[in-house]
């Protein structure tokens, strides 16, 4: 009987000892694990963090359900979560406008561009070049295109080359969306174009290709 009691007591002590060792081991592992945890704070600023980036863009844009424009850009960033959602084209943009038969009739090119979705407002910056419906060339360093109000304007110096005349606006200009009716804020110079070849549909196409390649 003494031997059996001794064995039972020994087994009970062994179980208690093992339980204590396992508990201490778990606590030790838990403390080691918690000491290695790192917290990284991620700050998301919707006005400076884009949600989508697209490269080598070549797409068509519709207006009132009709395809009106073709857009080419090397990089397109979309800030759709910003307070005032906008698109950003940091490496330039080229836009062609189509007629009802999908023939290119006008074009816009710039080194950098912004587009605010809600306002339907474009801001074109750097070497802005436009070939209008009237086959007139506009060149300036900054231009705004308000599609909602169908208005184009600039406060920067602008050079307009017409078929037989060159006009330079010192403080910018304002125009309708088709750039067929415009006025200058302050006209700096106006002089005739000499030795200029007549313009036809072929030359218009060549002008579009030249602006796109520049």
> 3-class secondary structure for 75-99?
EEEEECCCCCCEEEECCCEEEEEEC
Query: What's the token pair of residue 138?
Result: 């506009």
The pLDDT assigned to 190 comes to: 64
CA angle (66 as vertex; 62, 70 as ends), nearest 5: 45
Assess whether 113 and 12 both reside in one domain. no
Residue 117: CA count within 13 A, CB half-sphere: 12
Q: How far apart are CA 14 and CA 164, in angstroms?
A: 108
The pLDDT assigned to 6 comes to: 39
Assess whether 132 and 71 both reside in one domain. yes
The domain in which residue 135 lies consists of 52-213
When divided into structural domains, the chain yields a total of 2
The pLDDT assigned to 134 comes to: 85
pLDDT digits (tens, 9 = 90+) for 78-103: 999 889 999 999 999 999 988 877 78
Q: How far apart are CA 43 and CA 168, in angstroms?
A: 47
* Contact in structure between 157 and 168 (CB atoms under 8 Å): yes
Q: Enumerate residue ranges in the chain where pLDDT < 70.
A: 1-44, 187-191, 193-214
pLDDT digits (tens, 9 = 90+) for 123-146: 999 999 999 888 899 999 999 999
Does the model's pTM come out above 0.75? no
């Amino acid at each position: 009987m003494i031997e059996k009691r001794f064995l039972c007591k020994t087994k009970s002590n062994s179980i208690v000892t093992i339980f204590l060792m396992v508990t201490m081991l778990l606590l030790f592992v838990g403390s080691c694990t918690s000491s290695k945890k790192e917290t990284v704070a991620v700050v998301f600023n919707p006005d400076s963090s884009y949600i989508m980036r697209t490269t080598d863009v070549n797409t068509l844009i519709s207006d009132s359900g009709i395809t009106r424009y073709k857009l080419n850009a090397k990089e397109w960033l979309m800030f759709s979560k910003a307070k005032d959602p906008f698109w950003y084209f940091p490496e330039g943009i080229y836009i062609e406008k189509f007629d009802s038969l999908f023939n290119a009739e006008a074009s816009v090119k710039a080194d950098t561009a912004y587009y605010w979705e809600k306002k339907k407002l474009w801001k074109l910056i750097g070497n802005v070049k436009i070939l209008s419906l009237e086959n007139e060339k506009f060149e300036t360093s900054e231009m705004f295109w308000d599609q909602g109000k169908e208005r184009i304007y600039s406060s920067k110096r602008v050079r307009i080359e017409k078929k037989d005349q060159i006009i330079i606006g010192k403080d910018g200009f304002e125009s309708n969306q088709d750039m067929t009716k415009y006025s200058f804020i302050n006209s700096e110079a106006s002089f005739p174009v000499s030795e200029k070849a007549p313009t036809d549909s072929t030359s218009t196409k060549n002008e579009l290709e030249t602006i796109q390649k520049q």
